[in-house]
Amino acid sequence: MRAVIFSLMWIMLLSACSARPAPDLLRPQIVAEPAGARVVRVHSVTTRATYPDAPWAYGANRSGTVQYGAFDISIPPAHKTGQIEWPSSFGKSDPATDFITRQQQRMGRASFLSQVGRGQIGLYVHGYNTSYQEALYRLAQLATDAQLDGTPVLFSWPSEGQVAAYLADRDGADYSRDAFVALLSDLTAGRSRNDPVIVLSHSMGGRLTMEALRQLKLTGRGDVLDRVEVILAAPDIDIDLFRNQIATVGKLRHPITVLTASDDRALRLSARLAAGRTRLGQLDVRDPNVQKLAVDTGIRIVDITALPAGEDTHTRYVDLISSQKSISTHNPFAGFRRAGVFVFNQAGNALRGIGTVLAN
């Protein structure tokens, strides 16, 4: 236990050494747009409440009603794939070098659904210790780099945005389950089963997503389940809990993809906080039991440990998704319409099956 406390203190110290992006980034700026800049519109659904003194920004408090809106985010001309060019001095953004917010629109559910329409949709659910502005800008970056042809939609639950607020974040994610189920129902209504909504869920957002899928199954909403295709990136889910969840959800028309990495430091700490219980995102794909889990439940487990990660092994998925340039029309892994376990090579451009791999 002493080692766990020390690890938490060390992470908190490192976090304090680098400034986190402030809510001021969400305030729309009227500035000249430099040549070569791109603007991406991100639609938003959130269970966060706005700040009393900054109604254009969302914080960690929980809203009694679901909030709908859209943001226009400017991407600088020299943007680098996989990166978010944060302002060097918050409050003094430069559109020539930084991501900036150009416009915000708040709306009701009907207007939101009308604007999103029935075209391609990429739905992103962030993880633990994430502020609204971090999640919004991350989706803008992913949509830009992966060349999303359709509409990027953010579902943001009330994370505290603090390292020490793990349990509060888990409660905030659970609090948002009904709202997320309602969003999935709205976005899939009237869609073809062959044109699913792509759902990318990171870390604790994976727990929220699996709980939503379970609720949809228990309430007889197979029509919704047939129209979503889920990618769980570094999911922070107890492995036994996941076994129960997937047993209820069953095999889906569009297989769930789980991205794992054995060296994920955040999940390693999460496991230690949970009395050593393994997290889904750190599974060893060479374990025969893991291979059997994939085949029996009809999911794809993809090991991305070999891909470059930098300092943050928990966000390795960002470079992978950014470089695939294929979520415009489908899951980057949809070409592998098989259950089983796979390993990405170091270049991130080839998957190799391990053990038993089932065909369509």
User: What pLDDT is stored for residue 277 in this prediction?
Assistant: 87
Mean pLDDT of the chain: 88
Confidence grade of residue 360 (pLDDT, cut at 50, 70, 90): very low
| 114-164 confidence digits (pLDDT tens) | 999 989 999 999 999 999 999 999 999 999 999 888 899 999 999 999 988
Question: Which carries the bigger pLDDT value, residue 11 or residue 341?
Answer: 341
Starting at the earlier edge strand, list the strands of the sheet with 197-202. Answer: 100-107, 54-75, 38-51, 151-156, 121-125, 197-202, 228-233, 257-260, 300-303, 340-344, 351-354
Q: Examine the pLDDT at 326 and tell me if it is beyond 70.
A: no
Rounded Cα–Cα distance for residues 64 and 55 (Å): 15
Question: Which carries the bigger pLDDT value, residue 326 or residue 207?
Answer: 207
User: What pLDDT is stored for residue 357 in this prediction?
Assistant: 52
Confidence grade of residue 7 (pLDDT, cut at 50, 70, 90): very low
User: What pLDDT is stored for residue 17 in this prediction?
Assistant: 42
Calculate the CA dihedral of residues 124, 127, 129, 133 and round it to 10 degrees. Answer: 0
What angle do helix axes 239-249 and 204-218 make, rounded to 10 degrees?
Answer: 30
| 250-269 confidence digits (pLDDT tens) | 999 999 999 999 889 889 88
CATH assignment, 2-354: 3.40.50.1820
Contact at 8 Å (CB) between 94 and 147? no
The reported pTM is 0.91
User: What pLDDT is stored for residue 177 in this prediction?
Assistant: 98
User: What pLDDT is stored for residue 290 in this prediction?
Assistant: 94
Contact at 8 Å (CB) between 254 and 297? no
Average pLDDT, integer, range 304-326: 81
User: What pLDDT is stored for residue 148 in this prediction?
Assistant: 86
Structural domain boundaries in the chain? 2-354
6-10, 320-324, 337-341: which range is least confident on average?
6-10
Q: Examine the pLDDT at 204 and tell me if it is beyond 70.
A: yes
How far, CA to CA in Å, does 230 sit from each of 122, 123, 124, 252, 324?
10, 9, 10, 10, 16
Question: Which carries the bigger pLDDT value, residue 268 or residue 15?
Answer: 268
Give the percent of the chain with pLDDT over 90. Answer: 69
User: What pLDDT is stored for residue 207 in this prediction?
Assistant: 97
Tell me the helices (H) and strands (E) count for the chain, helix number first. Answer: 11, 11
Contact at 8 Å (CB) between 128 and 169? yes
User: What pLDDT is stored for residue 212 in this prediction?
Assistant: 98
Question: Which carries the bigger pLDDT value, residue 336 or residue 306?
Answer: 306
Question: What are the backbone dihedrals phi and psi of residue 109, each rounded to the nearest 5 degrees, phi first?
Answer: -60, -45
User: What pLDDT is stored for residue 245 in this prediction?
Assistant: 98
User: What pLDDT is stored for residue 219 in this prediction?
Assistant: 98
User: What pLDDT is stored for residue 331 in this prediction?
Assistant: 53
Q: Examine the pLDDT at 11 and tell me if it is beyond 60.
A: no
Which of 29-33, 37-41, 273-277 has the highest mean predicted lDDT (pLDDT)? 37-41
User: What pLDDT is stored for residue 359 in this prediction?
Assistant: 46
Calculate the CA dihedral of residues 193, 143, 107, 48 and round it to 10 degrees. Answer: 100
Give the percent of the chain with pLDDT over 70. Answer: 87
